[in-house]
Amino acid sequence: MKTLTSITKNIVLTTKKRVGPAIPSVKTKKKDVVKNKTIQSTNKKSISIYKWNDLNKSINKVYRYPTDGEINEANYFFNSSKVDFAWANSDPDKLFSLIDRIKHPKPEVLFLGRSNSGKSTLLNNIVTNLHSNSLDRVAKVSKKTGFTKTLNCFTIGNKLNIIDTPGYGQNSSVDQGDLVMKYLKQQKALCRVFLLISAEKSINKWDSSMIDFLSTNRIAYDLVFTKIDKIKHLDSFKKELKDQRLDELPIFPRLILTNSETNKKCLKRYGVDFLRSVILESCNLSKKKL
């Protein structure tokens, strides 16, 4: 596997048809605790949640873990908040004139990542009540790589925005890439970017150049590993993480491990409460302000 430092830094971020931080493991209210002791997965051998929790703790040592109260607060907010579709846009001129007209913009976080890394699915998992039997499908999801074509903004509880973006890499376009880059540079209300990496695929040159872009432009970001249900061997995953030498990055991001509920085969969400809590913290929405 290539290390981040070994990958050239001046990769153009927008090409046609390219080929290709901290908190769970804390106790939550009994009703919010995932019932199964393993992450139900596409693998025959599931890795226990306790092992994932241990890994989460050990890779996020530089960050303070949220307290039970913070986790409960985040779960309460996302479980009870209404989700409103705010806008979808693929035209930078129209988008920025729309944004400029908003007098009091809401704090925002944005999901970024390669096509098919699970951005839209994770957004749905974040906004779906933990006690719900079915997933809210506010963002459209597909097996087809490069499915989301526009920037899509969702307002949660009238307090904060989550932006879903078109993926970069396979089946992406120059225009989509330009739009996302412009947005990242210009949106002042943007509080944090979550860069999604499919855990089974690990970081590639495009992710790496994106990390570079975020660092260079001083945009706060964390890395979110998705699809951990696809990991068969925890030790090899740990080794791969270590080999990436993420600790050599100028600012060490949180590494958030997640698993989304997608269908009947993959029923359990993991890391959602952690991510929810980081989203609230990033948007500076403390208890008093909610």
Is 124 a residue that touches Mg ion (CB under 5 A)?
no
- Closest distance to ligand GTP from the beta carbon of 110 (Å): 13
- Closest distance to Mg ion from the beta carbon of 138 (Å): 12
Is 259 a residue that touches Mg ion (CB under 5 A)?
no
Span of 25-33, 55-63, 87-95, 112-120 interacting with ligand GTP by CB under 6 A: 112-120
Is 75 a residue that touches ligand GTP (CB under 6 A)?
no
Cβ contact 154:164 at 8 Å: yes
- Closest distance to Mg ion from the beta carbon of 266 (Å): 17
Token pair in block for residue 29: 């209210």
Token pair in block for residue 285: 């929405």
Span of 2-10, 57-65, 92-100, 119-127 interacting with ligand GTP by CB under 6 A: 119-127
Footprint of ligand GTP on 7-46 (CB under 6 A): 42
In 3D, which of 122, 115, 235 has the Cα closest to residue 166? 115
255 touches which of Mg ion, ligand GTP, none (CB within 5 to 8 A by kind)?
none
Question: Residue 193 pairs with which residues in a beta bridge?
Answer: 110, 221
Q: Which is nearer to Mg ion, 24 or 113 (CB)?
A: 113
Is 198 a residue that touches Mg ion (CB under 5 A)?
no
β-strand 255-257 against 221-226: which pairing, if any? Answer: parallel
| CA distance linking residue 233 with residue 240, whole number of Å | 11
Is 167 a residue that touches ligand GTP (CB under 6 A)?
yes
| CA distance linking residue 121 with residue 131, whole number of Å | 17
| CA distance linking residue 93 with residue 143, whole number of Å | 30
Span of 29-37, 50-58, 177-185, 260-268 interacting with ligand GTP by CB under 6 A: 260-268
Is 271 a residue that touches ligand GTP (CB under 6 A)?
no
- Closest distance to Mg ion from the beta carbon of 290 (Å): 28
253 touches which of Mg ion, ligand GTP, none (CB within 5 to 8 A by kind)?
none
| CA distance linking residue 130 with residue 189, whole number of Å | 28
Is 172 a residue that touches Mg ion (CB under 5 A)?
no
Question: Residue 223 pairs with which residues in a beta bridge?
Answer: 195, 255
| CA distance linking residue 274 with residue 64, whole number of Å | 12
| CA distance linking residue 222 with residue 196, whole number of Å | 9
In 3D, which of 115, 137, 116 has the Cα closest to residue 126? 137
Q: Which residues of this chain interact with Mg ion, rule CB under 5 A? A: 119-120, 148
Q: Which residues of this chain interact with ligand GTP, rule CB under 6 A? A: 42, 113, 115-121, 141-143, 145-148, 166-167, 226-227, 229-230, 259-260, 262, 266
